[in-house]
A and B are shown apart, each in its own frame.
Chain A
Amino acid sequence: MNNDEIRASLLKRSRASKNELFGKIISGLCIAIIVAVVVSIFYFVASKGLATFFHDKVNLWKFLTGTIWNPSTTDAQGHPQVGALPMIIGSFAVTFLAAIVATPFAIGAAVFMTEISPRIGRKVLQPVIELLVGIPSVVYGFIGLSVVVPFVRHTFGGSGFGILSGTFVLFVMILPTVTSMTVDALNSVPRNYREASLALGATRWQTIYKVVLRASVSGIITAVVFGMSRAFGEALAVQMVIGNAMLLPSNLISPASTLTSVLTMGMGNSVMGSLSNNALWSLALLLLIMPLIFNIIIRWIGKRGAMH
């Protein structure tokens, strides 16, 4: 009799196992929804973006290398004029320039925060950096419009709108991200490397640049690429200061445009399904692929770094 009771209770699902099943179903559902959202975004952007090439028969090469962007008109051969090169160059120019300017500052700040004065770094600079990360991009853009653009106009001439202003604004925007990731990279260098270096008669400075920075090089590159990925995708702040001229940029102070700025400017003015709309989706597809490439680079660097 007693035995039967035990058997019955073992064969029945307990409250705890029901709870566990319930939890599994909930988390599985959540993951499924997230995956479905990501996949459908990719599918949607890709199908729209690729329609330019398959449906409207635009040559991919001409799209990437053409210099005239005017989707509503056609050229002498009757092909639509969707040359994205000016925006591609604009995007890469502001991204790389911002990264080049930001990197030394980020490394300098990170070295100060980890090696020279960790106390001030933790108490003062860390909160400041977190604050900078949290400022909305429209605020950066507004400051850029009212301070950076006039400054560039007075100093370098021109209208003030252009790649240079975009670079300045993006530089300030990505600096906190790159700095805090560089800080993490430097902090992950084991303390005993520093001790070994000092014990061999190295100065503090020699220890920093010959051991700490060298040992964390892959982490620093990851930080910079991450910052570039952010800069590449930034739309609003850049659009406010770059001038939005769809011309091949000839210098840093003439108005130019980026993939993001053309997209934000144009998306309200085209009809779904038309060529000019599809062409914008192609730009969106490019913007989707580039961060993917940046991510792959970051992972590749991470793997290489882990091997050492």
Chain B
Amino acid sequence: MSKDNNLITVQDLHVYYGQLEALKGVTMNFKKNEITAVIGPSGCGKSTLLKTINRLNDLVANVTVTGTIKVDDQNVYAPNMDAVELRKQVGMLFQQPNPFPFSIYDNVTYGLRISGEKNKTVLDEAVEKSLQAAAIWDEVKDRLHDNALGLSGGQQQRICIARVLATKPKVILMDEPTSALDPISSDKIERTMLKLKEDYSIVIVTRNMQQASRISDRTAFFLAGELIEFGETRDIFMQPQKKETEDYISGRFG
């Protein structure tokens, strides 16, 4: 861990999809045990940033990345970096709840099983702990072997959180995790996130500015692939330094 508590450092990051430059020289860092919100209009590069951190962008053809990203002082794009190992340390939650069409138990233990964990006691314990941390244990403890697709959208998303937590990542990237959910489910997930902050670092991409202001410690505002402003959430929302930021959070565009 570096001295200033930075878990992820991003240095002059450019990402190109073919000719299109999706991120134009981004430099920022994400601190440990904080929630960092990334806001900005559609197509500004928020999701690209997340997918670049866990190298899920590798799956896209024609993608070029320059600059450096370090997670816990390991260079993510170093030639000897194992993307599979990286993704075990950097969990991700998607916009659409995407539990596998298996039982709740199989969903939560998936990450451990692919790492070779077979001990039933370890798996059982991980299921209970992760589901409790994701605040859904009480709702599903009696039907762990039911298909996860039978749950409501909000429950499914919390199963996905539990599935990520079971692998004990250092960081959790969340890509608009509540945009497909109703307000009550969103609220539950937000509360869960605030609790998770004690043990994990969270980066959340969101289009909901109230959400960003409610839960995040720091906020980054992106526009057209550039990091416009980044600082304490309170400062960003109360006294933004840049005109674009002010325009965006006051709803004048985007």
Contact = CB atoms under 8 A, between A and B. Distances in A.
Interface residues of B, number: 28
A20 interface: no
Contacts of B182: none
A155 to B, nearest CB: 41
Interface in A247-264: none
Contact of A201 (B59, B98, B115): B115
Interface string A245-289: 000000000000000000000000000000000000000000000
A74 to B, nearest CB: 59
A193 B97 CA distance: 10
B59 A210 contact: no
B163 interface: yes
B147 A192 contact: no
B100 A201 contact: no
Nearest to A201: B88
How big is the A interface, by class? 10 to 19
A200 B56 contact: no
A69 to B, nearest CB: 48
A210 B59 CA distance: 19
B110 interface: yes
A199 B84 contact: no
Contacts of A210: 110, 113-114
Interface in B83-119: 84-88, 91-92, 94, 96, 98-102, 110-111, 113-115
A97 B216 CA distance: 61
B102 A192 contact: no
Contact of B56 (A198, A203, A206, A211): A198
A195 interface: yes
Given A200-B167, A215-B100, A308-B149, A195 B110 contact: no
Nearest to A217: B101
A200 B88 contact: yes
B160 interface: yes
Contacts of A203: 84, 114
Interface string B51-73: 00010100100000000000000
B203 interface: no
A198 B98 contact: no
A215 B106 CA distance: 12
Contacts, number: 66
Interface string A204-232: 00100011001100000000000000000
B164 interface: yes
Contact of B167 (A190, A192, A201, A206): A201
A196 interface: yes
Contacts of B99: 196
The 8 A-B pairs of least Cβ separation, nearest first, read A201-B88, A199-B92, A192-B98, A201-B87, A200-B111, A196-B98, A202-B114, A206-B114
Interface of B: 54, 56, 59, 84-88, 91-92, 94, 96, 98-102, 110-111, 113-115, 147, 149, 160, 163-164, 167
23 contacts: A192-B94, A193-B98, A195-B94, A195-B98, A196-B94, A196-B160, A196-B163, A197-B110, A198-B59, A198-B87, A199-B54, A199-B56, A199-B92, A199-B94, A200-B87, A200-B111, A200-B164, A201-B84, A201-B115, A203-B84, A215-B100, A215-B101, A308-B147
Interface of A: 190, 192-193, 195-203, 206, 210-211, 214-215, 308
Given A198-B56, A200-B167, A201-B88, 10 more contacts: A193-B101, A196-B98, A196-B100, A197-B100, A201-B111, A201-B114, A201-B167, A210-B113, A211-B100, A214-B100
